[in-house]
Structure 1
């Protein structure tokens, strides 16, 4: 399986709980804001990675993961933890590989949620 074929999973129970707690309209607003924030934080993380700022990257990835977890993007959280582990190990090659994977998983996860919203599921 190529990396781009890696499945993206959205925790439907997490989204259902959000709708049950907030109602459909408010949950949709929260989800949209979370998606925007994820995109912004991924961009910030990319800049920090490019600048070689490991501590800032670690904070940005942690923040990104907390938001992703709240909207059921657990794979983003797992890959983010991998990035953090590679940063802690001081392995620049592994950081490059896992950060690239985090970017792919984030992009595909955001697309999956966007597609769900436009289909109304």
Structure 2
């Protein structure tokens, strides 16, 4: 009988803590907290929307949502998240459904880890 191997890929995320420090320095604690909270909500909403429009096969909406996600992720220093979203955008632009599905699955994994990493970092600095 054949044995089925399950591969688990554990990719780390990269945050730019300097961007968060700059937010806190520029906006103060209350202002930075508001920006970070809004960014986390926006990123979670964009991820949900990207998944939905991918399922619907709507590349124009996919591009729009992905670009918004990249902009917000970069604002709060979520470098890996933004880079992987760029990979999704390139796969969508290329019209390659296999690459789009693969990069989207990666984006969803990285997105979850990135959101958790920012909350963890925020909790340690507050």
Give the TM-score of the pair, scaled to structure 2: 0.89
| Matched ranges for 1:98-117 at <5 A | 98-117=103-122
TM superposition shift of 1:96: 0.1
SS of the residue aligned with 2:89? helix
Shift of 1:2: 4.5
Residue 21 (structure 2) pairs with residue 13 (structure 1): no
Residue 85 of structure 2 is aligned to residue 80 of structure 1: yes
Correspondence for 1:56: 61
Going by fraction, where is helix more abundant, 1 or 2?
1
Higher gyration radius (CA):
2
Match of 2:15, SS state, is coil
Residue segments in structure 2 that go unaligned for 5+ positions in a row: 1-6
Deviating 4+ runs (over 6 angstroms): none
Match of 1:68 in 2: 73
Measured in 2, the distance between the counterparts of 1:51 and 1:63 equals 19
Q: Determine if the alignment matches structure 1 residue 91 to structure 2 residue 96.
A: yes
Q: Distance in 2 between matches of 1:13 and 1:64?
A: 20
Give the RMSD, CA atoms, in angstroms: 1.4
5+ long unaligned stretches in structure 1 = none
TM superposition score normalised by structure 1: 0.93
The number of aligned residues is 120
